[in-house]
Amino acid sequence: MATTTGPLEKQAATESIETTQPASFQGWLLLLLVFLAGAASLSVEMAASRLLSPYFGDSLFVWASIIGLILLYLTVGYYVGGLLSDRYPRPVYLYYITGAASLLILLIPLIAGPVLSWAQLTFASYDVGVLYGSLLAVVVLFALPTILLGCVSPYSIRIRIQQVGRAGRVSGLLYAISTAGSILGTFLPVLVLLPYLGVKLTFLSTGLVLLLISVVGVLSTSKQAGQDMQQGI
């Protein structure tokens, strides 16, 4: 009887712990980060179209460059985030990643003018210079921050599974939260930020919000991460 009831009792105890464990501040902070990272990725994409418009117009070529490359960067970020999360499965490193992404987003409006002018002049003589120039501009300006934002979902899933232990439920929840953030990041810039604040302030506000949550995350988790590293040593 012990051999048949043991695994069931163990499973029931595990499920009881999972369902009754109170939500911690770190848990809510991670969910907020996932939401804001999803919003930031789409906010950057929406603002990118307005940023490139004075130099390359608003044609299908420009939109294809933006959407296609942003999706490529997110794909790379998903893969890189999965690799990093297995090697460094601590929340503090995720906040370092989003902090770096926020600084790169803040840098975009500062370097966009020279980069876009250079890309425009470089391909001015080509028949499809709009496509080539916009592709180059999107690579230079948006590759690194978008790749880092793409790391958030797999990294957060790895952290939450380590804490909770329900892979399907956790991944579904986090992807839903990220998608909800992306919906906000689509409509908020179009309806509010871009019309009333402009392109530069849209990038700045996006970067500052993400930087704020990253700093709070680093400060609240660095002490625990240090203790974990000492225990590992």
- Where is pLDDT greater, at 133 or 141? 141
Query: Is position 162 within any domain?
Result: yes
Q: Which of 116, 71, 106 is nearest to 202 (CA)?
A: 106
88-92 long-range Cβ contacts below 8 angstroms, 24+ apart: 89/158, 89/159, 89/162, 90/159, 90/221, 90/225, 90/228, 91/26, 91/30, 91/159, 91/217, 91/221, 91/225, 92/217, 92/218, 92/221, 92/222, 92/224, 92/225
Q: How many other β-carbons are positioned within 10 Å of the β-carbon of residue 171?
A: 17
- Where is pLDDT greater, at 163 or 178? 178
How many domains would you assign to the chain?
A: 1
Burial (0-12, 13-18, 19+ Cβ within 10 Å), 166: middle
Place 226 in a pLDDT band, splitting at 50, 70 and 90: low
Mean pLDDT score, 17-24: 44
Query: Two tokens at 217?
Result: 């995350």
Query: Is position 13 within any domain?
Result: no
Q: Where are the alpha helices (DSSP H) in 123-151?
A: 129-150
Query: Is position 224 within any domain?
Result: no
- Where is pLDDT greater, at 163 or 51? 51
The CATH number given to whatever domain includes residue 52 is 1.20.1250
Question: Residue 223: pLDDT above 80?
Answer: no
Which amino acid belongs to residue 125? S
Question: Residue 135: pLDDT above 80?
Answer: yes
Mean pLDDT score, 149-164: 86
Mean pLDDT score, 171-186: 94
- Where is pLDDT greater, at 51 or 9? 51
The residue ranges of DSSP E strands in 99-212, in sequence order, are: none
Q: How many other β-carbons are positioned within 10 Å of the β-carbon of residue 228?
A: 14
Query: Looking at residue 125, what is its pLDDT?
Result: 67
Place 225 in a pLDDT band, splitting at 50, 70 and 90: low
Query: Is position 118 within any domain?
Result: yes
Query: Is position 11 within any domain?
Result: no
Q: What is the pLDDT of residues 111-134, one digit of tens each?
A: 999 998 888 887 766 656 677 788
The Cα-based distances of 135 to 67, 124, 130, 201, 223 in angstroms read: 10, 13, 8, 23, 42
- Separation of alpha carbons 211 and 130, rounded Å: 33
Domain that holds residue 162: 39-218
22 DSSP assignment: P
Place 228 in a pLDDT band, splitting at 50, 70 and 90: low
Mean pLDDT score, 182-203: 94
| ∠ CA 151-98-229, rounded to 5° | 85
Q: What is the pLDDT of residues 76-101, one digit of tens each?
A: 999 999 999 999 988 999 999 999 99
Mean pLDDT score, 147-173: 85
Place 232 in a pLDDT band, splitting at 50, 70 and 90: low
Query: Is position 19 within any domain?
Result: no
Averaged pLDDT of the chain: 84
